Amino acid sequence: MNEKQKRTGIMGGAFDPIHYGHLLIAENAAAQYQLDQVIFIPSGHSPHKTKQHMTEAAHRCEMIRLAIWDNPCFDLSLFEIHSTGINYTYRTLEGLKEQYSKDMFFFIMGGDSLQDFSHWKYPRRILDASCILAAVRDDVDGSNFEQQKDELNAWYGRERIFRLNTPNVSVSSKIIRERAGSGRTIRYMLPEPVRHYIMEHQLYDGTAKAGL
């Protein structure tokens, strides 16, 4: 009997820290596109961020574990943390394909990233390795998005980019870091275990230790 092909969502980012916005996007992706699992992949050496601008990987990974432990559909991969060189998306997806050779990948990203997607490193290889679920908030006019999506699908030659509808959650990792750094509350912006971890390790007030 042939093994059922898994539908696997891939969600990358710094997750510095992970928050409810990330989790809601992942949950909606799983529900809307019948994903069997969503793998969170914290960035190691991102082409868009330098190491000194990110919290230590050990802290970011532990915050993800604390955020997803009770959702059997969510998992954590240290692929980019353990890899060398710059973690371009195409390299990550192709590397994961070797580990999950039977899975069908759905790369989850923000809808506003579509306008720059053609300038990413080897976009065709990204589309060869995965479908793209582009998250668009419910309160955003989707006309520009639909045009960009249609143009990219036409450029690639088949439909590989799809819209992911997401709730309107105005929270970001940057806002959380700034609020924590200035002593303001971050309660209800992220899971409580993650908030306690940030407070315990004083991650965003400049006193965090290197590693755990």
Domain assignment of residue 35, yes or no: yes
Domain assignment of residue 54, yes or no: yes
pLDDT digits (tens, 9 = 90+) for 50-78: 545 789 999 999 999 999 999 999 999 99
- Of 9-13, 81-85, 152-156, the range with the lowest mean pLDDT is 81-85
Peptide bond into 17 cis (omega under 30): yes
Give the integer Cα–Cα distance in Å for 201 and 193. 12
Domain assignment of residue 109, yes or no: yes
Domain assignment of residue 187, yes or no: no
Domain assignment of residue 201, yes or no: no
Across-strand partners of 104? 7
Q: Per-residue pLDDT averaged across 140-163, rounded?
A: 90
CB-based contacts of 77: which residues, under 8 Å, 6+ apart? Answer: 39, 40, 41, 96
Q: Answer yes or no: is pLDDT of 140 > 80.
A: no
Judged on CB neighbours under 10 Å (0-12, 13-18, 19+), 44 is: buried
Domain assignment of residue 206, yes or no: no
Count up the domains in the chain and report the number.
1
Read off the CATH number of the domain in which 99 is found. 3.40.50.620
CB-based contacts of 116: which residues, under 8 Å, 6+ apart? Answer: none
Tokens of 101: 């050779």
DSSP helix/strand/coil, 152: helix
- Of 10-19, 45-54, 151-160, 197-206, the range with the lowest mean pLDDT is 45-54
What is the per-residue pLDDT for 48?
Answer: 59
Give the integer Cα–Cα distance in Å for 212 and 207. 13
How much of the chain, in percent, has pLDDT values that exceed 70? 90
Measured CA angle at 153 (ends 102, 47), to 5 deg: 70
> What pTM value is reported for the model?
0.91
Domain assignment of residue 82, yes or no: yes
Q: Answer yes or no: is pLDDT of 132 > 90.
A: yes
Range of the domain at 138: 7-170
pLDDT digits (tens, 9 = 90+) for 79-89: 999 998 889 99
Domain assignment of residue 85, yes or no: yes
